[in-house]
Amino acid sequence: MQNTIEISHLSRAEKLRIMEDIWDDLSRDETEVQSPGWHQDALRKTKQQVDSGQETIVDWESAKQELRKRFE
């Protein structure tokens, strides 16, 4: 059964909540989730930026709150 959601009528907060729900569902079985090939390079680059002070680490809850504020 396929459900169609008219996403253009949803608020940004609702869209973000739906995205989180979808991700939670997709990531339940980690064996089915594979990182794309470029992901290791991106992680390495980010680590270098953090180590050099160009980037800072933010916990996930704080990051979600900040994103929600930006898109409400």
Please tell me whether the overall predicted TM-score, pTM, comes out greater than 0.75 for this model.
Answer: no
pLDDT digit string (tens) for 18-30? Answer: 999 998 998 888 7
The low-confidence residues of the chain, meaning pLDDT below 50, are none
CA 51 from centre of chain:
22
Q: Which residues of 6-41 are buried (b: 16+ CB within 10 A; e: fewer)?
A: eeeeeeeeeebeeeeeeeeeeeeeeeeeeeeeeeee
Are 18 and 5 contacting, i.e. CB atoms less than 8 angstroms apart?
A: yes
Q: Give the pLDDT confidence score for residue 62 in this predicted structure.
A: 94
Q: Give the pLDDT confidence score for residue 29 in this predicted structure.
A: 81
